[in-house]
Amino acid sequence: MDIGDWNYICKNFKILKSYPTNVMEVDILKYVGLRIENLEELKELGRSNLEVLIKRQKRDVSILKEQLEELMSKPIKDMIKNKRKIKEIIDKIKIKNTISIFEDLVAKSPDKRPYIPQLRPYDLFNVGDEVVVYIGDSKNSIVSKRFIVGKVIEDYRHHDGMVSFIANEKWHTGDYYDGRGGFAGLYYPGIMLKWEFEYLMSNPSFLELWLRQIDGFEHFKEDIKEESCYFKNKIKINNE
């Protein structure tokens, strides 16, 4: 057995509760799970998104520590056999156990920014909330609009991964609430609280950062960027 590896394991197992000071920024960003280029961009996500990331970091560290303690409680021959796995877990904990860095970013971050879709809490959409919904890919749409406004209703799997809504106008040929109803998954980027949509329309740099985190949905990405340009020009005309 490599004595260097074993010394590394023993030394780090004792100090895992302290925050590491030698973790590289690139390592932190790698394990965040988002397309973020630097800590400044991470800060720009806003307080709500960062607080979700902190919760996930704490959860992941707790799980990893349990795995590590279980491996370190086994007989020495088993620990030697699993030394590589133990070292990998220690390295992950050292990177993920950077809660203080995230908490410092929260203190410097903007108060209110739209959630990255995959970071949305289960209860983000509540009954009566105004929403904007993308319908550009809907095959049974009867309106030329790509985005419609509506309100959240309590229906199928409310606060259980789905969001149901009733639009302000008839928009499809189906009979679901006489052509005004619809539903989407919680993490579907094409359904947003109205204030989130308006924020994205008014802040193109954040819109770009927000869209960068979304896999797929190319039509939606193209259309919301086009809508942002239209929104910007409309404001400019109204101010002239």
pLDDT digits (tens, 9 = 90+) for 22-40: 455 556 676 677 898 888 8
Q: Which two tokens stand for residue 182?
A: 């619809």
Could you tell me how far CA 105 lies from the centroid of its own chain?
16
* Mean pLDDT across the chain: 83
**CA–CA dist 99, 23 (Å, integer):** 12
Give Cα separations from 58 to 64, 113, 131, 147 (angstroms): 10, 22, 31, 37
* DSSP for residue 166: E
Where residue 234 falls among pLDDT bands split at 50, 70, 90?
Answer: low
Give Cα separations from 179 to 134, 146, 171 (angstroms): 15, 16, 6
Look-up of token digits 């990405």? 221
Residue 201 has pLDDT above 90, yes or no: yes
Measured CA angle at 102 (ends 14, 58), to 5 deg: 50
Residue 133 has pLDDT above 90, yes or no: yes
Domain ranges of the chain: 3-113, 119-239
Residue 165 has pLDDT above 60, yes or no: yes
Q: What pLDDT shows up at residue 26?
A: 56
Residue 9 has pLDDT above 80, yes or no: no
Q: Which residues contact 122 (CB under 8 A, 6 or more apart)?
A: 159, 160, 161, 186
Measured CA angle at 117 (ends 220, 106), to 5 deg: 135
> To which H or E segment does residue 57 belong?
helix 47-72
pTM of the predicted model, to two decimals?
A: 0.77
Q: What pLDDT shows up at residue 74?
A: 82
Q: What pLDDT shows up at residue 210?
A: 97
Write the DSSP assignment of 76-118 as a string of letters: HHHHHHTHHHHHHHHHHHHHH--HHHHHHHHHHS-S--PPPGG
Q: What pLDDT shows up at residue 239?
A: 44
Residue 20 has pLDDT above 80, yes or no: no
Residue 78 has pLDDT above 90, yes or no: no
Q: Where is average pLDDT lowest: 71-85, 134-148, 173-187, 189-203?
A: 71-85
